[in-house]
């Protein structure tokens, strides 16, 4: 089944570039483009795309406001932010406003495909370049207790330890080596963590840990 896309950016060159990249990825089709926020909601309601690639810095409108309107009007459409902005507060506002992913405009074709695949599979996606920024910003702005988070979500001490390493970007083999565990044991813990939290992608785990402050700057 074809996954339909709507491109929203006030720069024609950017839209053309993204369209060209997407045309080389099997299973995706750009069904519309919008250059202004004014036409965005109307086009979205008419076309009902599966994924909306949205710039949050359009000249005529606030992309973050547009994001919130989109999320309310068409909750089944996934929104992938495509932006040059790396400001942590703006990134957090976008994620909290309903964005399912955040991709930098200098992303490679491979990363764009990974992001689209994640959203298509009901997962979330963060550019690796901003994942640490998102974590640090959330840790600065939230004051919830790590102990409460663990209790609320029924994670064991070992699972919590592994979860922290996962969101810090450690591979299964690195985690196994660092904790003196077998790779199979780490994989089992990873599977159990995702099942308990009902989150099945690393980007989602990062956002969960950020929201619940399961990690600290010293981790």
Half-sphere exposure of 202 (CA within 13 A, CB side): 17
Q: Is the pTM of this model over 0.75?
A: no
Asked whether the beta carbons of 142 and 208 are under 8 A apart, the reply is: no
Q: Domain 3-130: which topology?
A: Rossmann fold (3.40.50)
Q: Domain locations in the chain?
A: 3-130, 142-212
Q: Residue 151 pLDDT more than 60?
A: no
pLDDT in tens, 83-125: 888 888 788 888 888 888 999 988 888 989 989 998 998 888 8
Contacts of 38 (CB under 8 A, 6+ apart): 60, 61
| CATH classification number, 142-212, choose in 2.40.340.10, 2.60.40.10, 1.10.10.10, 1.10.287.130 | 1.10.10.10
Let me know how long the chain is: 219
């Amino acid at each position: 089944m074809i996954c339909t896309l709507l491109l929203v950016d006030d720069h024609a060159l950017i839209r053309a570039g993204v369209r060209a990249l997407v045309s080389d990825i099997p299973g995706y089709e750009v069904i519309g483009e919008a250059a202004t926020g004014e036409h965005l909601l109307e086009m979205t309601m008419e076309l009902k795309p599966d994924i909306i690639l949205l710039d949050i810095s359009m000249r005529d409108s606030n992309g973050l406001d547009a994001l919130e309107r989109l999320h309310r009007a068409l909750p089944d459409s996934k929104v992938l932010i495509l932006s040059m902005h790396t400001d942590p507060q703006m990134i957090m506002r976008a994620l909290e406003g309903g964005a399912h992913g955040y991709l930098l405009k200098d992303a490679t074709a491979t990363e764009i495909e990974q992001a689209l695949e994640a959203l298509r599979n009901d997962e979330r996606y963060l550019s690796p370049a901003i994942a640490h920024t998102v974590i640090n910003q959330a840790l600065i702005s939230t004051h919830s207790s790590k102990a409460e988070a663990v209790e609320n979500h029924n994670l064991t001490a070992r699972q919590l330890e592994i979860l922290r390493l996962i969101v810090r970007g450690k591979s299964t083999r690195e985690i196994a080596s660092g904790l003196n565990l077998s790779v199979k044991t780490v994989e089992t813990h990873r599977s159990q963590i995702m099942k308990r939290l009902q989150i099945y992608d690393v980007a989602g785990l990062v956002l969960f840990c950020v929201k619940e402050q399961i990690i600290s700057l010293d981790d």
